[in-house]
Amino acid sequence: MPRRDDIKKILLIGSGPIVIGQACEFDYSGTQACKALREEGYEVVLVNSNPATIMTDPSVADRTYIEPLTWEMVEKVIAKEKPDAMLPTLGGQTGLNVAMDLDRHGVLEKHGVEMIAANAAVIAKAEERDQFKVAMEKIGLDVCHGQTVHTIEEARGFLGEIGLPAVIRPSFTMGGAGSAIAYNREEFDTLVRSGLDQSPVTEVLVEESIIGWKEYEMEVMRDKDDNVVIICAIENFDPMGIHTGDSITVAPAQTLTDKEYQRMRDASLAVIREIGVETGGSNIQFAINPDDGRMIVIEMNPRVSRSSALASKATGFPIAKIAAKLAVGYSLNELKNDITRETLACFEPTIDYVVTKIPRFAFEKFPEADSTLTTQMKSVGETMAIGRTFKESFQKALRGLEVGRFGFGCDGKDLWGTDEQPSDEEIRSKLSIPNSERAWYLRYAIKAGYTPEQLFEITYIDPWFLDQLYELVEIEEEIVACGAIDNIDQRLLKRIKQNGYSDRQVATLLNTSEIAVRQWRKEQGVIPVFKSVDTCAAEFEAYTPYYYSTYEEENEAPEKPEGKKRIMILGGGPNRIGQGIEFDYCCCHASFALREMGIESIMVNSNPETVSTDYDTSDLLFFEPLTIEDVLNICDRVQPDGVIVQFGGQTPLNLARGLQNAGVPIIGTTVDTIEAAEDREKFQQLLNKLGLHQPPNGIARNMEEARLEVAEIGYPVLVRPSFVLGGRAMEICYDHAQFERFVAEAFVVAQGQPVLIDKFLEDATEVDVDAICDRNRVVVSGIMEHIEEAGVHSGDSACAIPPYSLPGPVIEEIRKATVSLAMELQVCGLMNIQFAVKREDGEHKIYVLEVNPRASRTVPFVAKATGFPVAKIATQVMTGKTLDELGIEAAPIPGHVSVKESVFPFRKFSGVDIILGPEMRSTGEVMGSSERFSIAFAKSQLGAGIILPKEGNIFLSVTQRHKEIIKDLAKRLYALGFTLMATEGTAASIEEVGIPVQRVKKIAEGHPNLIDHLIDGEVTLAMNTPNGKGARTDEGKIRAAAVQYGVPCITTIQAAEAAVKAMEALREEEMSVVALQDRA
């Protein structure tokens, strides 16, 4: 059947902010879907609250709404746009849940919107555990024995039937939130209670444990004619018990015979047909008992998923694009395979390489959180690598992880053979309790003489995978036995490289330098070739320029074309806190801009979730780890005329010096300038020269120096290690004890680099500025005023464009300072400056906190708030165009206010204190816009999941220095009709101004205390500014409990003020929706 003509306008819902379990993959799938639908002539209306996405660029959809993803707000979009259909399966769990809400509340029926691809009944059948189980039993498939329960009593009753260990999975949560394994009754009770709370329908599934079984995922596609194909089978290296998002996974399946594979394929087809997903992609998970092959269906996602993005990148088959086309009526055999051009999309990709995905974690940001890997996802990003063998792809993926490792050990970071060599007991424990370090402990175990049988008994990792690891250790021993690099002949060297060993590992094993290994290797003629990802194992000619490196005979990457410039963009690697989608956004725009200018764009990245690793984003795509060795290898082959390092966050900047030294032409701001901005002394001289100020500061190389510095500067101070992103180990110290502790920690994180000590400016307003400079002229693209005071990491605070409280002259002064800094540094491309404005003696004094001559996290927000294509212009400037040539006068100052709010993963790390500080902990962001600041702020809160209440109890508890200001807020809240609750001290302040307040007990004061009120749902909003911090403090427990019980909790006085303002404004005006295309 060809495309449907009865629908013209299609609504697409995005997945909102980046959170654990929902990352860039839905920007990738949503962007593909928008493009695919518009290619077919449909008008696309998009709603997504996340400004950092490519999909919310005004050119991607016809009508773009950056609005909170609640059914009420989406209804407003529907009422305004009157779409004919809604495609709910491309926006992750969030998109699906909003679609279900819209259906439940009759919105779709009321406005005559048809749900295409999968309707509400189908979605419920797949997602609702009981319905799913009944469906599976109907088609004769085995499921895990389990029962959904709604009360703790029911749960205990069922536990009697299945016994411990048991798995608890809350219904309708994203990324398996709240899922965990209980090994004893106490754990069981705790997990069931928190699961019931986290589930939006107060329902959990209690299941028999199948921990240790082999785990698989099948990516399935179906069309209206009931053609079904499998795009990819993924096998988990880590068996059942660890969320697939937290597992090392491998494509294709490695240890299934054809008989078992086909049986799983049959089951997949049966599942998608029975559930009734009409068209598009689904993901089905299976477990297989390694002892007897018993197969169990675990679950199904009736939508594109993180795994489908991975499968798309792993095979070259664009699942989301095809899913969008199937949704509008095409059949698979009516669509071409883009890659081969001649064959059709109706086939099953076959690959001739091995793909390994490894998750990246951020436990260092949440030291109080439980770092055990369970059935609830905890990773924040992932990297993927392609090699001709598992060993090669596994080692490539380990170095692509960017955690300072260069393969499976042997990289100078091993504990093995050092004083800290783990004991047998420690090894056993790190293997048996899954954790993010397990790969390294597998190696230690092999070094310690564990047999494969022993390792299997402890980990249940398939013996085939284990043997691959043993082989790697054997090769390592062979390298060591050679003694010196020139004893390694060409044949052995090639074998070493074919097994994924990096030059760095070889150098470490032979006590030589990476450069020496590289030279010897090139002399021996052992250089990588690049092979293409073509969906068909070379059976047909491929036209898609998507490559990976390997050590083989034949090279497929094209030679440099005559007369055409080539520019390479280095991406940001796996998502982590502090570096994520914002930088991918910049890299994609760089590529689009280059292509528009007729320059061949080359993308290098290792993150499978992203738009940048879509095969049609750039002219050439290299899916490779971002290390000096891997990037130089590509440069050797493609000979770029320029390499862009300022768009991918810290990752490419860390490579810049090494690349430049190897003769690679870095374009834009010079490496010297980038380094100068990080050099404290040079920076200070620069500021002095320009007459700019910075807070008193010092630099320390050891504890003694640190003590001297702080004596000079005076408390409070901010300490941080140099050369790290995201405020890692950055702390504010108010006294000596804190100072001693945090400086010591900073030295550990700094790894030999000095620690920086700055005077901390209390009660100062922070301002972020983005600018573009062409070495002659500067355009300030955005001035953002933070809501939270300076000291809260800029990535964690909310901010507004344009500034909402700073006086005009101050803004003008900031603008001037920006221009002079950019000119003095001779920036070419993007730059970001952080200022602090402090009122001193009745005057505003401006301090420069930090200058980053590179793209910042705020680039996409600025672009969305102002409509100014920042990344594109910066790219043009870097290729040599001047701002004058481009006709850029000044960036527009928008007539409306946009507020960015950060989104945190606290719900995944229960018990963690949520107060904001200098160390960044947010994973994503949302944006709210309106004519008025207060309404824009309200929207940003709603988008971030903080529902500002209209009535009920509000709990207030503030630190001593906020006791005055809280009086005003209490008055205003009382005037809005709220009843107030407070702890003793705060209550006393409030009563002073004659406002009634209910006193609540602190935890130490017995029951019923605040936590009991939170549990009982009596509190609609908590405002709590900290005296101290930490999960063990009383107030830390209160804040953690608020998160756990889903009560919005505001922890800074500035945000509290903004929230009160917003609640007042909401009484006067409703939130309305406006498309980006309609903004001036």
Partner 1 sequence: MTQIAKLALEDGTVFTGEAFGASGEVDGEVVFNTSMTGYQEILTDPSYCGQIVTMTYPEIGNYGVNREDVESGKPHLAGFIVRENSRVASNFRSEGSLEDYLKENNIIALEGIDTRALVRRIRTVGALKGVISTEDLDDSSLVEKARNSEGLVGRDLVKEVIPEDSCQWEETLSEWAKLPGESLAGGDQAYHIVALDFGMKWNIARHLKDLGCQVTILPGTSTADEVMALNPDGVFLSNGPGDPEPLDYAISTIAALVPQVPVFGICLGHQLLSLACGAKTFKLKFGHRGANQPVQNLDAGTVEITAQNHGFAVEEESLPDHLEVTHRNLNDDTIAGVRHKEHNAFGVQYHPESSSGPHDSRYLFQQFYDSIAASKNS
Residue recorded with tokens 């695919």: 36
Nearer to partner 1, 195 or 349 (CB): 349
Rounded-to-integer distance, Cα 320 and Cα 340, Å: 18
| SS3 (DSSP) at 234 | strand
- Going by the DSSP 8-state scheme, the letter that residue 971 receives in this structure is H
Which of 803, 800, 810 shows the shortest CA–CA distance to 837? 810
In whole angstroms, what is the distance from residue 176 CA to residue 199 CA? 10
Give least dist CB 1069 to partner 1, A: 55
Q: How far, in Å, are 209, 352, 469, 905, 909 from residue 921 at the CA level? A: 33, 40, 34, 8, 12
In terms of Cα–Cα distance, which of 640, 581, 636, 638 is closest to 878?
Answer: 640
Cβ-based neighbours of 514, under 8 Å, separated by 6 or more: 503, 504, 507, 628, 629
Residue 182 to residue 240: CA distance in whole angstroms: 14
Q: Alpha helices of 55-119 — where are they, by DSSP H?
A: 71-81, 92-104, 107-111
Residue 255 Cβ, how far from partner 1 at the closest point, in Å? Answer: 5
Which C-beta is closer to partner 1: that of 227 or that of 418?
227
Place of tokens 């004058």: 884
Classify 216 as helix, strand or coil.
Answer: strand
Instruction: Give the shortest CB-397-to-partner 1 separation in angstroms.
Output: 16
For residue 741, give every residue at least 6 positions away whose Cβ sits within 8 Å of its Cβ, in sequence order, or none. none
Tell me whether residue 222 or residue 1029 sits nearer to partner 1 (CB atom).
222
Residues in the chain: 1080
Closest approach, Cβ 524 to partner 1, in A, equals: 16
Contacts with partner 1 by CB under 8 A lie at 140-142, 225-227, 229, 252-263, 265-267, 270, 290-293, 331-333, 342-344, 346-354, 388-390, 452, 462-464, 467, 471, 531, 536-541, 552-554
Spatial neighbors of 272 by CB under 8 A, at least 6 apart, are: 220, 222, 228, 282, 284, 300
Which C-beta is closer to partner 1: that of 81 or that of 462?
Answer: 462
Is 452 or 1030 the residue whose CB approaches partner 1 more closely? 452
Pull the structure tokens for residue 440: 């390294």
| C-beta of 550 vs 646, nearer to partner 1 | 550
Min dist. Cβ of residue 224 to partner 1 (A): 11
CB of 331 to partner 1, least distance (A): 8
Q: Which is nearer to partner 1, 73 or 346 (CB)?
A: 346
By beta-carbon proximity to partner 1, the closer residue of 388 and 854 is 388
User: Which amino acid is present at 257?
Assistant: T
Q: Select 350 or 685, whichever has its Cβ closest to partner 1.
A: 350
Please, what is the end-to-end C-alpha distance for the chain in angstroms? 41
Closest approach, Cβ 256 to partner 1, in A, equals 6
Q: What is the gyration radius of the CA atoms in the chain, in angstroms?
A: 28
Question: Closest distance between partner 1 and the C-beta of residue 128, in Å?
Answer: 23
**Token pair of 525 as six digits:** 């003629």
Nearer to partner 1, 225 or 745 (CB): 225
Whether omega for the bond prior to residue 558 falls within 30 degrees of 0, making it cis, is no
Distance CA 566, CA 603 (A): 11
- At its nearest, how many Å lie between partner 1 and the CB of residue 942? 46
CB of 227 to partner 1, least distance (A): 5
CB-nearer residue toward partner 1: 317 or 361: 317
Q: How far is the CB of 254 from partner 1 (least distance, A)?
A: 5
Specify the residue, 114 or 334, whose C-beta has the smaller distance to partner 1: 334
- Per the omega criterion (within 30 degrees of 0), is the bond before 434 cis? no
With beta carbons less than 8 A apart as the criterion, state whether 260 and 216 touch: no
Considering the complex, what minimum distance in angstroms separates the CB of residue 541 from partner 1? Answer: 8
Q: Least distance to partner 1 from the beta carbon of 142, Å? A: 7
Ramachandran class of 525: left when φ > 0, alpha when ψ lies in -120 to 50, beta otherwise:
left
If the CB atoms of residues 59 and 262 are measured against partner 1, the closer one turns out to be: 262
Q: Which is nearer to partner 1, 265 or 504 (CB)?
A: 265
Q: Nearest approach, Cβ of 471 to partner 1 (angstroms)? A: 8
* Residue 228 Cβ vs partner 1, minimum distance, rounded to whole Å: 8
Q: How far is CA 268 from CA 220, 694, 912, in A?
A: 7, 62, 39
Local structure of 146: helix, strand or coil: strand
Nearer to partner 1, 222 or 900 (CB): 222
Of the pair 353, 592, the CB lying nearest partner 1 is at 353
Preceding omega of 318 cis (within 30 degrees of 0): no
Task: Indicate the DSSP class of residue 607.
Answer: -
Give yes or no for a contact between 933 and 800, defined as CB atoms under 8 angstroms apart.
Answer: yes
State the CB neighbour count (10 A cutoff) for residue 179. 22
Strands in 183-236 per DSSP E: 204-208, 214-222, 228-236
Q: Which value, to the nearest 10 degrees, does the dihedral of the CA atoms of residues 450, 452, 455, 461 take?
A: 160
Strands 43-47 and 9-13: parallel
- In terms of CB distance, is 74 or 355 closer to partner 1? 355
| Cα torsion through 348, 354, 355, 360, rounded to 10 | 160
- Residue whose entry in the numeric block shows the structure tokens 């779709």: 108
Q: Closest distance between partner 1 and the C-beta of residue 789, in Å?
A: 56
Write the CA distances from 668 to 632, 665, 710, 879, 882, integer angstroms. Answer: 19, 10, 37, 7, 12
- Residue with Cβ nearer partner 1 (276 or 290): 290
In angstroms, the Cα distances linking 161 to 157, 287, 294, 824, 937 are 7, 21, 21, 73, 51
Min dist. Cβ of residue 490 to partner 1 (A): 13
β 953-957/843-852 pair status: unpaired
Q: How far is the CB of 460 from partner 1 (least distance, A)?
A: 12
